[in-house]
Structure 1
């Protein structure tokens, strides 16, 4: 993925010498202070991006630099890209714009593990339990609606769009194990849940694509799935995924990290994958991994 650095105000070394930083900033300020947008300016940029309503766009703020990072799929045309650029530009400068292959879609078809109404298949993310020891499966909210009867049991709660998570109560309580299958006869034990950080190595496990690894590239990302809705607060990564990966687990060692929501590309050419952070549904439903 090519990244074009966002225009930034910076100190310029001239042939006759270096212009002192004190000539560009107020006393006591730094160059970074002069170019970093305020929280209000970033909020305004995110609001403007949502109002632009461009299907196939996603965005987050780089916490280290304060730069708005916009990722677009192959369906976004030049005019839409221009509108996104204008919306995300702050007084500190233009956004970073990245284009990824394929189309942002909810990865819903062709998966395994959970058979849903209408013949749809998604994946179990993680098995969890409540304070009474009742066991459930966490999966993506766009896979199922509250009340749906699945191959595992009944969906007791589902949240999509806005969020992307759902809770299915196991009919057979003894079937749930606190681990992730690694597609080769072995299992990864999951003992806790965590919040990812930029650059963290993460792993997914999918019966179609196998065990894959990638890195976290963005946090608190918003993705516009078009008519299917907008989802907020997602993990953005260069981990590959394909249709059928929805709800699948993203983990780091023994820590649960997220549930695959969607993305673009595939595991042959690469792409972008978005995931629902797992700590949010754990808190919302009052459950924990085991």
Structure 2
């Protein structure tokens, strides 16, 4: 090859390379390379708060779609969002956004299909729950100690029919709503706990569990003073209730009782993320911490009381804690619904997401 031809070809290659670089800049794609000669992209995993991780998860979920991703979870140790993906392209999209990609076998669409199949096969088996677990990339089905004999065999068959998309676990406790959990609120049907103070149409209300407002219509505080009456209730299906304060002048601070002489200010509501550290306050067992272990969980409490869309946690609770506050820092997360176990041996507790309750009632934290 002549020198002139070599120079012309090299010039063309340089122009192509320059055009490609310009295209990357125009597309807004930037990355660092650990070895410039090899051109291997190295993306930085962002250090995120649980709430920031939840927002990034929501954004990536919309961008990737349920066929390219399979949920996400927060790694509290590294403060990183881990996103399950099914392809290299999806993994690169996660890394560019600052998340950590994990290639898995089951898509979110497949796992949601598995939960629908379980809803049909296990809906008649009381004492069961099921939720997508992004850490294991499976639907985890839990049977409490009351599930035995033919009912357990039916559940086991339903799980096995889903192959590697589901697994069955046992709970030593019994799933039940915790009616009998913030500050105590009482009525003729028992005791629950106040969740969060809210405002609707300029008037003061509070949120609690729907199974509480189903059983009790008028409420008093722990000293027998009138608090208010039900303004809305949804249970089963969901588990939220709305109570209007008896007086518009009632003090209704946006805070949660920490049972140590202090309170936690609540400034808004947010969505839970698997792996998020959370705190629960209730009138029976007061304040306990734990971790979110699943989202969009379904629980069959028995007697036709099936609740969907719950937050699954390893936080303990006991009767009387129902309706109480689940929060992360200054953010309202959930209302105590029910579960198994207690705060001596530990257990599993489910919470109604607060944003869904606010939307249903047209209320705001305040």
Q: TM (normalized to structure 2)?
A: 0.65
Aligned length: 260
Encode CA deviations 1:77-129: one digit per residue, 9 max, x unaligned: 254333223323466525122222210010001896211233x1110000000
Higher helix share: 2
- Runs (5+) with no aligned partner, structure 2: 1-88, 92-101, 221-226
Deviations along 1:36-59, one digit per CA (max 9) or x if unpaired, are: 2562x4344323322332111100
Deviation at 1:146, TM superposition (A): 9.5
**Relative to 1, partners in 2 of residues 1:66 and 1:289: Cα closer, same or farther, differing over 3 Å?**
same
Q: Quick one: which of 208, 213, 226 aligns to 1:139?
A: 208
- Say if 1:147 and 1:242 are closer, same or farther in 2 by CA, change over 3 A: closer
| 1:285 and 2:361 are equivalent in the alignment | yes
User: Is 2:125 aligned against 1:54?
Assistant: yes
| Poorly superposed stretches of 4+, deviation over 6 Å | none
Query: Could you say if the C-alpha distance between residues 172 and 113 of structure 1 is closer, same or farther in structure 2, counting changes exceeding 3 Å?
Result: farther
Report the 3-state secondary structure (helix = DSSP H, G, I; strand = E; otherwise coil) of the residue aligned with 1:203. strand
The CA RMSD measured in Å over matched residues stands at 2.7
Contact 2:126 2:302 in 1 (8 A): yes
Separation in structure 2 between the aligned mates of residue 188 and residue 90 of structure 1, nearest angstrom = 46
Distance 1:110 1:154 in 2: 18
Q: Pick from 233, 239, 242: which aligns with 1:158?
A: 233
Q: TM-score, normalised by structure 1?
A: 0.82
Q: Distance in 1 between matches of 2:167 and 2:214?
A: 36
Q: For each residue in 1:176-207, what CA deviation from the matched residue of structure 2 results, as whole angstroms up to 9, or x when unmatched?
A: 11100111221110001110111111001123
Which fold has the larger relative contact order, with Cα–Cα distance below 8 Å and residues 6 or more apart in sequence?
1
Alignment of 1:11-30 (within 5 A): none
Contact 2:186–2:219, Cα closer than 8 Å, also in 1: yes
**Gaps in structure 1 of 5+ consecutive residues:** 1-27
CA contact (8 A) 1:115 1:121 kept: yes
Residue 269 (structure 1) shift: 0.2
1:161-184 Cα offsets, whole Å, 9 max, x none, are 000000000013323111001112
